[in-house]
A and B are shown apart, each in its own frame.
Chain A
Amino acid sequence: MWRIGTIVALHDETPTARTITLEVPDWPGHLAGQHVDVRLTAPDGYSAVRSYSIASAPNSERRVELTVERLPNGEVSPYLTQEVAVGDSLELRGPIGGWFVWRTEQTEPIQLVAGGSGVVPLMAMIRTRASAGSTAPFRLLYSVREPGAVFYREELQALSDHDHAVSLTYAYTRAAPKDWPQPPGRIDAALIANTTWPSNLVPTCYVCGPTSFVESTTDLLIASGNGRDKIRTERFGPTGDRK
């Protein structure tokens, strides 16, 4: 049940987040949005398991990318973001979860809403859309603390420049770039109304972020006319060491 993955690349996304690329010889493939459990075992036998979303699209190289944000008091994330090296191996369980997934057969408009590192499984959906040649229209509303905390910025920009069916909106909560049209703030009803798909197009919405973010965003999406049954959520808690 536990697979062994070997780290083949490491890439810092921000000063506190790192993408770990693993090669997993018996990887069965995955769906965009799924996650893995990572198990670390200390020499004394103590082990800790944490869930991390897969960032990469399925690929023939049996590679899996995880982007891990370091949590100040985390038990696992400081090790994954600071200690591991290329050539190390990690124990993985997965791919896991069949609900918070986007499938390439889906052709309806897709609304993605990310809070901080909640962008990771949504990035897997955007990458899978591109690699599968899907034409499903995608919008990403990405709420992030400050410009320096954005994951995958250049790749997101390139994907949206290349294909106008993918549109990006950043919502900065603490510090915005100079000349940004809006002052920093949380996602509100006006931003939902102006930047997400009109509810009469019946988009499927995927919301991922901290629990309070998911809660408030889901309420706003419902208030703007989206059905609860069209909104799929993935929450992570501040102490859960998730993502």
Chain B
Amino acid sequence: MSSHTYDYLDGNAAAGELSKIFALDVTAAEGQCAHCGAKRRFAEAHLYMQGPGLVARCAVCEHVLLRLVNARQGVFLDMRGMTCLILDTSQLQESSG
């Protein structure tokens, strides 16, 4: 049980922070892990929010998918852990209704 601690949330919890940047809901999108290739909804990622920003890790291999830090200069966003993100554009109509 070395690294298996219950200190993470779901990717869902990043939805508010990501909504500052993206027009579409990234948490409902399917993303592919650059490390193990697993395709999962971002909402299913493991989210760590204890640090100065937030870190999302792959639920399968724990590789870092996304890092987001709010700093004085702006928002630092690193998404190199995800090779592809499939966003559902139908929500554009839905959210306005």
Q: Chain A: residues with CB nearer than 8 A to chain B?
A: 1, 28-29, 35-37, 49, 51, 93-94, 96-100, 210-212, 215, 232-237, 240, 242
In this complex, what residue of B is CB-closest to A236?
A: B9
Contact call B91/A98, Cβ cutoff below 8 A: yes
Contact call A234/B97, Cβ cutoff below 8 A: no
Contact call B88/A51, Cβ cutoff below 8 A: no
- Beyond the given A29-B97, A235-B13, could you list 6 further A-B residue pairs with CB under 8 A, ordered by the A residue number? A1-B20, A28-B95, A36-B16, A97-B27, A98-B25, A234-B13
Contact call A215/B95, Cβ cutoff below 8 A: no
- What are 21 of the A-B contact pairs (CB < 8 Å)? A1-B19, A1-B20, A28-B95, A35-B12, A36-B16, A51-B16, A93-B19, A96-B19, A96-B25, A98-B91, A99-B12, A99-B42, A100-B10, A210-B6, A211-B6, A211-B9, A235-B8, A235-B13, A237-B7, A240-B9, A242-B9
Contact call B15/A235, Cβ cutoff below 8 A: no
Contact call B15/A96, Cβ cutoff below 8 A: yes
Taking the complex as formed, is B28 at the interface, i.e. its CB lies under 8 A from any CB of chain A?
Answer: yes
For B8, the chain A residues whose CB sits under 8 A away are 211, 235, 237
Contact call B10/A233, Cβ cutoff below 8 A: yes
A232 CA to B10 CA, complexed, in Å: 10
